Structure 1
Amino acid sequence: MKKGVAKAGSYFKKLRMNKDLTIGQLSLLSGVSKSTISMIERNKHNPTADTVIKLSKALNQTPEDMLSKLGFIQPIPETLDSKLERIAKEFDTLFLDHLGELDEDSKQKLISYLEFLIQKQDKGLAKKDNTQ
């Protein structure tokens, strides 16, 4: 059992109680059954990532933070952040240098992927604005 998952029970219970929610209320808000929530809180059941995401939304937590705290995902290492920052600075040059090497299908996939990332980011920003 992952160390983070082992502490899931007390973590969820604390969040639920801080929101003054009963297990039944959390169940209604999250779509996770009362018995599953109860078993998680008593450390009798390890939550799946999907369950963590459902509960995080009901508890007004970001799924990424909760998944990270419980050991499902690892935070981006500082070195990766630095690499992303460097690539972002060099992006124009890299993009223009290599764009000609792509066939039409690859160019379309790249455009679709960039549009997807922009939409995903916009949705994330909208969610943050709504929670503030």
Structure 2
Amino acid sequence: MITKLHKVVAVTSASINAPYIQEAVGTVIHLGDVVNGGTYVVDTYEGIEVGDLLTVFYQSCIDEWKAFYVVSASDMGRPIIFMLPAEAFVLGAASARYMITSRVGNVVQSPVAKYEVRR
């Protein structure tokens, strides 16, 4: 069997928002607010389609956390929620971003959300 390869063009789109950590206050995440983990939110985006693959990333100053999610019909028009474990949050700089890969292989990257994790 031969599978056709598609050109990958990774672009950042103005029509999608950066993800956010729901427990953050502005750009600050307080450890006391994420003792049971954190809520990583990807807002619905222009052009969302069933079958889109979301790859979400959370980068702390020591580790990177990653998850994959395939968009379903029930996701249309609502945020997609991921849970980060408490150990993902360590003191220092952190960032969150995601990529959308369409069924035909087009890739769009979100803006990066930057945070500071504090006591």
Whether these two folds match at TM > 0.5 is no
Q: Point out the structure with the larger strand share.
A: 2
Point out which structure has higher relative CO (alpha carbons under 8 A, 6+ apart): 2
Q: Point out the structure with the larger helix share.
A: 1
- Superposition TM-score, scaled by structure 2 size: 0.26
Larger Rg: 1
